[in-house]
Each structure stands twice: as C-alpha cells, then as structure tokens.
Amino acid sequence: MDPAFLGPLIPIAAIVAFAAVKIARLRAPLPGSASPEITARLEALEHSIQDVQQELAETQERLDFAERLLSQAREDRRIGG
C-alpha cells in the first residue's frame, strides 16, 4: 500500500474505534450490573485503541522525520548543494 494512503487512514481508524468505545459505554448498564463478558470486551477494545494510538504516534514521528529529510533535500538543491 502507498504510505501516503496510510497517513490519513490510521487516525480515521483510531477516531472510529474511540467513538465505538464511547458509544458502548453509553449503552452499557451501570458498572455494577455489567456482565463480566462486556467488561472484558470493553477492556480489550480499550487496549486495542491504546495500541492504535501508539502506532499513530510512531507513524506521526516517522512522517515528521521524512518531511524534514525531504525539506532539507529540497533546500540543498535550491542552494545548489
């Protein structure tokens, strides 16, 4: 897949997953009455979201680094170096 395509895809997936957790929490009964299965599923979903957020942060760092390299290369060509 083209890395340029993945750039906006990862934050969109994170936003959708985060919204899904919020909606699930709003629809879930009070914490004392939630079944163990629902609680386990929510915890697994939260863990997955944390993983996606970590991957997004790492991807953003890599993108920033690549942009700096490209910018530096353009500047070097413009100066004639």
Of residues 28 and 38, more confidence is placed in: 38
**Domain residues for 21?**
3-79
> What is the domain count for the chain?
1
Kindly report, residue by residue over 39-65, the tens digit of the pLDDT. 899 899 999 999 999 999 999 999 999
C-beta separation of 64 from 19 below 8 A: no
Asked if the model's pLDDT at residue 7 lies above 90, the reply is no
* Percent of the chain scoring above 70 in pLDDT: 80
Q: Looking at residues 14-25, what average pLDDT do you find?
A: 79
What pLDDT, on the 0 to 100 scale, is given for residue 33?
Answer: 67
Give one DSSP letter per residue of 6-73, joined into a string: HHHHHHHHHHHHHHHHHHHHHHS--GGG--HHHHHHHHHHHHHHHHHHHHHHHHHHHHHHHHHHHHHH
